[in-house]
Amino acid sequence: MATNLDYDGDIAILDLGDDENRFSPEFLDEVDAQLDTILARGAHGLVTTAEGKFYSNGLDLDWLGAHSDQGDWYVGRVQGLLARMLTLPIPTAAAVVGHAFGAGAMLAIAHDFRIMRDDRGFFCFPEVDIRIPFTPGMAALIQAKLTPQAAVASMTTGRRFGGRDAQTCGLVEATAPEGSVTTVAIDLLRPLGGKDSGTLGAIKQGMFGPAVEALTAAHAAG
């Protein structure tokens, strides 16, 4: 597996990889399998992180270009993962150690909390500049997690937010120096351990039901 799963006590740490960590079908399968393992073990929280320059660069456009006949299935598959992360029945935090673009930024947004490196890396929804409108599900996800002002500032401009600007805008909760991002994310989740997963999952389903419905509509159709 390109992804790697480790633990710090009861907190699961899922490393997405050391390249652009694009959402190939194989990558999506790996992450889903890792989430199954994490939940089966009874982890008290999940931190996703990465190595290198990227947290995730989002959709695998090379794969999509070579399999254009499977586009609807692929988008549904991506949205299924986003919906699962949004309602995962344990506390979650994204340690955004590098660039998070497009669907990679959406994966981070789907977590409960985000910590971003303060000196390098961009958080960006580039859809307006690459002429790819947000699907209804992706728009619903982002708007469910951000204030209206932050949604407009990030979704309609294609702006690349550095860590401190992302925090000011409300895209991330906090920033941390290089080498500390994942540790800060773990420390954020540690006091939240031990929540009843059934209750927490039901709360998240209630909070984000419309976004989940929009995300999974295409998945069900595919």
Question: What domains are defined for the chain?
Answer: 2-215 (3.90.226.10)
What pLDDT was estimated at residue 52?
87
What pLDDT was estimated at residue 146?
97
Which residue type does 154 have? S
pLDDT, one tens digit per residue, over 159-185 is 999 999 999 999 999 999 999 999 999
Specify the pTM: 0.96
What span, in angstroms and rounded, lies between the C-alpha atoms of 115 and 11? 16
What pLDDT was estimated at residue 218?
54
Upper half-sphere CA count for residue 171 (Cβ side, 13 Å)? 30
Tell me the pLDDT band of 222, cut-offs 50, 70 and 90: very low
pLDDT, one tens digit per residue, over 136-157 is 999 999 999 999 999 999 999 9
DSSP state string for 66-104 = HTGGGHHHHHHHHHHHHHHHHT-SS-EEEEE-SEEETHH
Strand (E) or helix (H) holding 127: helix 127-130
